[in-house]
Amino acid sequence: MSSPEEKFCLKDVLLSFKSCLVDNDQDVLLEHYLNGWKGLVKFMNSLGSIFSFVSKDAVNKIQIMENFLKGTNGEKYQTLRSMVEYELNSNKVDLTNHSNNPNSGCRTILRLHRALRWLQLFLEKLRTSSEDSKTSTLCAEAYNDSLANFHPWIIRKTATVAFYALPARNKFFEVMNVGTTEEVIEMLGEAVPYASRVYDFTQELYSKHNLLDLP
């Protein structure tokens, strides 16, 4: 478990998805977006090492993006829109294979974007779940309706097994560190829409530039 000073509060993390929205939801600040993911990874780590194969991949992708942000062309990576324009205009995106620019910002964010859909579905299921709902079932349903469509069999299998290790609903709510069950439900109702708005904007931007199937 995490030490007390790093105590996780899901509300703060989800609010990163609010603070990353700019220009009337027509752009996303990458630094805040990545902060949201970093907080989520912390939360996942606090659930135990069973999810380390997931957090490793997420951390790796966050790191790729942070390197772009800190790099010589960092200003081009301030927002999602500026990143897409820059990488497309300078041929930094592999549209057909996965060789010349294997880790472009566009394909890296696409992986996180797909995971954001899973998060959105999972949190919405948790919010509307009954007391006797199983978190593993809610998580698996959300996964099958989103990320699983992009994963090979072996990852789907591993993920599905790991979901059984998720804590029960009341324990899960407790770890979120938000308050009573009612307060958790209220917080999810307030905060999940921000993640949805980020998801919708990204989906529209990527669709407009035909980036939704990047290898």
Structure tokens at 180: 């009573």
Q: Judged by CB under 6 A, which of 1, 6, 7, 53 binds ligand 1PX? A: 53
Contact between 32 and 16 under an 8 Å Cβ cutoff? The reply is yes
What tokens does 193 get? 């829409």
Q: Which of 15, 109, 140, 159 binds ligand 1PX (CB under 6 A)?
A: 159
For residue 14, the number of C-alpha atoms closer than 13 Å in the C-beta half-sphere is: 22
Ranges within 63-92 binding ligand 1PX (CB under 6 A): none
**Of 28-36, 86-94, 107-115, 197-205, which segment contacts ligand 1PX by CB under 6 A?**
107-115
Q: How far is the CB of 159 from ligand 1PX (least distance, A)?
A: 4
If you search the block for the tokens 């809610």, which residue do you land on? 138
x/- contact string, 127-156, with ligand 1PX (CB under 6 A)?
A: ------------x---x---x-------x-
Distance from the first to the final alpha carbon of the chain: 35
The tokens for 53 are 């194969």
Compute how many other C-beta atoms are within 10 angstroms of the C-beta atom of residue 115. Answer: 20
Q: Which of 8, 51, 77, 206 binds ligand 1PX (CB under 6 A)?
A: 51
Which member of 21, 40, 80, 184 binds ligand 1PX (CB under 6 A)? 40
